[in-house]
């Protein structure tokens, strides 16, 4: 799985030591981990390169893991960009970070966000748990061959309702799932 790691620009290594150990653990598990922690943005040229790199990486990733204990505008931007790209975001916050309330994290009810707190001893298990949960929630691609009549309907519905064809199909399936008693029994078993 491709994972993008979002860290504040001016973090102190001692403050996120446990988090970086957790990220190293992800690499040991075989995940492709991308982070921008080694890049500086002290000049306008470097800042532009960092932003371009970040945007490309966010577009090409499956999951974003953000360290939000002392987040800054970079982390906020990367989380917002991840949401706009329909990516799943794991926001990890150290238990000792205090009680600062961040509306992007603490006020967000999105299904695409998982907010967890960690400490120096449980960071790897928290990250592993979060990755497993994210994998369950990730959308999967499905190729569907349809008849010309269904295609005409989807073309009409997409233009009339101003929705993507895929969203129309998803909505229809979600309604069928809600009504399917056999499926509900299967889930409760």
Q: What is the pLDDT of residues 61-108, one digit of tens each?
A: 999 999 998 888 889 999 999 999 989 999 999 988 776 767 667 778
Per-residue model confidence as pLDDT tens digits over 39-59: 666 778 888 888 888 899 999
For 119, the token pair is: 């400490």
pTM, whole model, 2 decimals? Answer: 0.72
Q: Residue 93: CB partners within 8 Å, gap ≥ 6?
A: 67, 68, 69, 105, 115, 116, 117, 118
Give the per-residue pLDDT at 101: 66
Containing 66, the helix (H) or strand (E) segment is strand 63-67
């Amino acid at each position: 799985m491709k994972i993008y790691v979002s860290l504040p620009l001016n973090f102190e290594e001692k403050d996120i030591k446990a988090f970086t150990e957790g990220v190293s653990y992800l690499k040991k598990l075989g995940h492709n981990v991308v982070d921008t922690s080694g890049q500086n943005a002290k000049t306008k040229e470097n800042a532009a390169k960092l932003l371009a790199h970040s945007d490309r990486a966010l577009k090409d990733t499956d999951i974003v893991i953000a360290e939000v204990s002392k987040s800054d505008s970079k982390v906020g931007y990367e989380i917002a960009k991840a949401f706009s790209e329909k990516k799943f975001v794991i926001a990890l916050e150290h238990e000792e970070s205090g009680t600062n309330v961040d509306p992007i994290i603490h006020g967000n009810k999105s299904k695409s966000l998982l907010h967890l707190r960690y400490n120096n001893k449980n960071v790897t298990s928290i990250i592993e748990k979060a990755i497993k949960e994210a994998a369950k929630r990730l959308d999967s691609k499905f190729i569907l061959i349809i008849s010309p009549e269904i295609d005409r309907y989807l073309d009409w519905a997409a233009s009339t309702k101003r929705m993507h064809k895929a969203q129309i199909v998803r909505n229809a399936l979600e309604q069928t799932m809600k009504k399917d008693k056999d499926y509900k029994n299967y889930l409760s078993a």
